[in-house]
Amino acid sequence: MTLLYDAGVTDRGVDVSFEVAEGETVALLGPNGAGKSTVLSVIAGLLRPDRGEVVLDGRALTRRPSKGAAPEAQVPPHDRHVALLAQEALLFPHLDVRDNVAFGPRSRGLGREPSRGVADRWLAEVGARDLAARKPGELSGGQAQRVAVARALAAEPRLLLLDEPMAALDVAVTPALRQMLRRVLADQTVVLITHDALDALLLADRVLVLEGGRVVEEGPSAQVLAQPRSAFAAQLAGLNMLTGIWRDEMVVTEDGRTLAGQALDPVPTTGDAVVAVFRPHTVSIFLEPPGGSPRNVLAVSVTDVEPQAGHVRVRAGDLTADVTARAVAELDLAPGTPAYFAVKANEVSVYAT
Ligand SMILES: Nc1ncnc2c1ncn2[C@@H]1O[C@H](COP(=O)(O)OP(=O)(O)OP(=O)(O)O)[C@@H](O)[C@H]1O
């Protein structure tokens, strides 16, 4: 086990324990104040717990005294082999992009030119090679976050901590950034905080749901989000997930429905088992099949109409749409109403299972 976390911070009421295996990405989900940032701060060494220990690769990063236990430890943040990536990129403003990324290797004692070589490799990896000579002030938010990812990974951390890495960004750039993270995080050991079910599903192997400073649910991402047991996961999830086979650049489900979508890395090949996933609020509902723009159209029968905060959740078998109360009234939707759920192909992510 790479990371063993078993610690409590009394005045925040946060006490959890979990493990992260080598190469695994674990997402921490939970409502505001659940304790996600507290856990990340303890791992990063920014906060000292009152109880317990954090062990990375067998080395105690933090250990509080307890009867009969090993001696106390508190390794300083810079010596933990842990990199923390926050919502804001926090690059050094006076260094260009290449030297920002070369900072980690330089600090490890590598010479200037080899460090820049390492930086260029990581910049290429995150799709930011052409930004090498720019100053951070000349980057968009999405570009800066790519560079921040390269900088964190160039330092070769044993553990990467991501605190809502896409929360501060324009929604237009998040799909490309998510795709990049999915690629570069594949072989890293990662703890990721997110409020987004899609990020948890596409980036994490496993999720831990925290509520009130405790772990209330834990399991493989797809399982927790498809069959949530905690109230929070249920509210968050509601993601549409259709399993099928990849054929002619389309997902074909067992019952013959077809969906076009954006295939994520590693791109599936014909015959692969795949999952198509899309958010309920990207679904529009029609009473007649809509024409015009290229959309996936699924014939359904409404099974449930459930008012929620700010919208109405309309279920139709295994599919969910979040629409306005006005739309529900105009379409006169009720259990049993035959309808069409439409979703644009660029809202559908497809990945191989
Ligand atoms: N700097 C602080 N000083 C004292 N208490 C804090 C501090 N930051 C957070 N808390 C408290 O600790 C508890 C856990 O908060 P934490 O920030 O870890 O939750 P979170 O899950 O990260 O929430 P969010 O999603 O809002 O970031 C909450 O009760 C919160 O009020």
Q: Whose CA is nearest to atom 12 of ligand 1?
A: 12
Q: Is the CB–ligand 1 distance for residue 14 below 6 Å?
A: yes
What tokens were used for 169? Answer: 């960004």
What tokens were used for 146? Answer: 């790519």
d(CA 206, CA 209): 10
pLDDT the model gives residue 65:
85
Among 85-89, 120-124, 225-229, 323-327, which stretch is predicted with the lowest mean pLDDT?
Answer: 225-229
Confidence of residue 168 (pLDDT cuts 50, 70, 90): confident
Q: pLDDT > 90: what percent of the chain?
A: 68
pLDDT the model gives residue 171:
74
pLDDT the model gives residue 197:
84
Query: Taking the CB of residue 123, how many other CB atoms lie within 10 A of it?
Result: 26
Compute, in angstroms, the gap from residue 35 CA to the centroid of ligand 1. 6
Q: Which atom of ligand 1 is nearest to the CA of 35?
A: 18
Q: pLDDT tens-digit profile of 192-213?
A: 999 888 889 889 999 999 999 9
Q: pLDDT tens-digit profile of 14-58?
A: 999 999 999 999 999 998 999 999 999 999 999 999 999 999 999
Checking if the pLDDT of 226 tops 80, the result is: no
What tokens were used for 205? Answer: 């192997």
Confidence of residue 304 (pLDDT cuts 50, 70, 90): very high
pLDDT the model gives residue 69:
64
Probe ligand 1: pick from 5, 11, 12, 42, max atoms within 8 Å of CB?
12
d(CA 62, CA 97): 33
Nearest to 348 by CA among 270, 265, 242: 242
More confident site: 139 or 234: 139
d(CA 217, CA 205): 14
Confidence of residue 3 (pLDDT cuts 50, 70, 90): very high
Q: Which amino acid is at 209?
A: V
**Would strands 349-352 and 273-278 be described as parallel, antiparallel, or unpaired?**
antiparallel
Q: Whose CA is nearest to atom 18 of ligand 1?
A: 35
What tokens were used for 179? Answer: 């795709």
Q: Is the CB–ligand 1 distance for residue 232 below 6 Å?
A: no
Query: Taking the CB of residue 226, how many other CB atoms lie within 10 A of it?
Result: 17
Q: Which atom of ligand 1 is nearest to the CA of 37?
A: 22
Query: Buried b / exposed e across 154-181, counting CB within 10 Å, b at 16+?
Result: bbebbbbbbbbbbeebeeebbbebbebb
The three-class DSSP label of residue 67 is coil
Q: pLDDT tens-digit profile of 256-267?
A: 999 999 898 788
Q: pLDDT tens-digit profile of 57-80?
A: 999 999 998 766 677 899 999 999
Q: Is the CB–ligand 1 distance for residue 38 below 6 Å?
A: yes
Probe ligand 1: pick from 15, 37, 209, max atoms within 8 Å of CB?
37
CB within 8 A of 351, min separation 6: which ones?
202, 263, 264, 268, 274, 275, 277
Domain spanning 3-236: CATH 3.40.50.300: yes
Mean pLDDT to the nearest integer, 113-122: 96
CA angle, corner 283, sides to 141 and 281, nearest 5?
A: 50
Q: pLDDT tens-digit profile of 283-300?
A: 999 999 987 666 899 999
pLDDT the model gives residue 106:
94
pLDDT the model gives residue 245:
96
Rounded mean pLDDT of the chain? 91
Domain spanning 240-352: CATH 1.10.3720.10: no
Nearest to 246 by CA among 227, 260, 228: 260
Question: What residue spans define the domains of the chain?
Answer: 3-236, 240-352
Backbone angles phi, psi at 92, to 5 degrees: -75, 120
